[in-house]
Amino acid sequence: MPKATLTALAWRQSLILWGFTYVLGLGIGYATGNLTGLLIAFILLASFQIIRSYHKLGRILDQLESRALNPQPEGQGVWAALESLIYKKNREHRIRIGRLVQMLRGYRLAAGAMPEGALVVSRETGYIVWSNKTAKRMLGLHPGEEDANLFRLFDADVKNWFISSDSEKPLLNVLSPGEHDAYLDFFQLPYTLVNSLVVLRDSTKMRRLEKMRSDFVANVSHELRTPLTVIHGYLELIEQQENPELQTIIGEMQKQSNRMNHLVEDLLNLSRLESGNMLPEEAISTGALLHTLQQEAVALSQGRHQISLVPDFNGLLIGSPKDIHSAFSNLVSNAVRYTPTDGSIAIGFRRNDINGLDFWVQDTGFGIPADQISRLTERFYRVSTSRSRELGGTGLGLSICKHVLNLHQAELRIESTPGKGSRFMCRFPRERVA
């Protein structure tokens, strides 16, 4: 039955009940035969209705305040309809609350069973509002420890990452306070206006595998260095003798020997950078560095390109001179190799919008397709395998460049248009500018 019909029916029932009561009372008063009896009967009936209404209102208030679900009311009239409506709404509310509680328990059980650690952390204070069992184990927290603070468990790097605007990027390889020689990766996700959800992943195994791979590459490279040196020495000795019929073969062997030697040196260099050891730092003159890079580019180009400098900044860059030069030199040599004859190459420094420093190399070379730019810093990745073999190179230059920049808190940005050229930019923070 529609709600409006039920309400009308309740009012009709109440009016009929009230009318019958008043008619009966007034009839009894009229039977007394005087006006005073009629008036007394009317007052008594009105008082009875008021007291009854307040009694019903009191029952409804008790029902609204009570947490227990009262029995379903019975009766007719407006008050009975109101009690029935409150009973119905209360029952629906309880069912809805029960479903929400069940869903919340399910979510908590699912979060507790996650292999990753999960934390709900206050954005303002760093206090841990909630954590699952995995997070407690990773952080060395006891089950009843409820006042733990994320900022006190770790050094300032975690706090700076948590409150920074760049917290969407994960924080990797953080030493765990709960387990010896264990490392954690931090991921921050939006949760509420006052709290953040932090996901912890154990990166210890991956770190160990990476170290094993790096050690393997370093050991193999060291072992290859000695036989390559011997082969290269014998080839030079044979070249000094007059064997015209072997000159072509010896020349090709020397070329491949030099290529293998460069590959071994790059692998050893990459392994050293991946170890994460602190690099020796000092102030580097950007003007002198640009001059050196120009000389190397001119020597490699052999007059085939127009090479220019754009010294918009002439100051000091704080970093490892050897590694910074290696990274920049790789970018310049790539520009020379992959720019056709009569092309142009520009090299320069400039201040950036974060008050840091940008080193950039721009060429009019072949260009790189947009879908391949993200893979350029992978080891041995080549956009064009045939062209790379023809032009030389080990395929490790950009990977070395990326690792050098990471150790200097810098980043590599690449812009390229196929057929028009590329622009490689190394962006350093303001802390690296003297």
Domains of the chain, by residue range, sit at 3-108, 114-202, 206-274, 282-432
pLDDT-derived band at 204, boundaries 50, 70, 90: confident
How far is residue 332 from each of residues 39, 291, 301, 411, 422, measured CA to CA in Å?
A: 112, 12, 10, 17, 12
CATH class, 206-274 region:
mainly alpha
Q: What is the mean pLDDT of residues 244-255?
A: 77
Return phi, psi of residue 104, to 5°.
-60, -40
- For residue 193, the SS3 value is coil
Least confident of 10-19, 60-69, 80-89, 378-387: 10-19
Q: For the whole model, what pTM was predicted?
A: 0.58
120-150 pLDDT per residue, tens:
888 888 888 888 888 888 888 877 666 788 8
**Phi and psi at residue 90, to the nearest 5°:** -65, -40
Looking at residue 27, its pLDDT comes to 65
CA distance 212 to 206: 10
Least confident interval from 168-172, 369-373, 387-391, 413-417 = 387-391
Q: Which two tokens stand for residue 218?
A: 């370093």
pLDDT above 70: percentage of residues in the chain: 76
pLDDT confidence tier of residue 1, bands split at 50, 70 and 90: very low
List of residues 6+ apart from 77 with CB closer than 8 A: 10, 13, 14, 17
Fold entry, domain 282-432: Heat Shock Protein 90 (3.30.565)
Please report the pLDDT score of residue 387 as a whole number: 55
CATH assignment, 114-202: 3.30.450.20
Residues near 138 by beta carbon (within 8 Å), at least 6 away in sequence: 117, 176, 178, 179, 182, 184, 200, 202
pLDDT (0 to 100) of residue 40: 66
Average pLDDT, the chain: 79
170 CA to centre of own chain: 5
Q: Residue 6 pLDDT more than 60? A: no
Q: Which residue has the higher pLDDT, 272 or 297?
A: 297
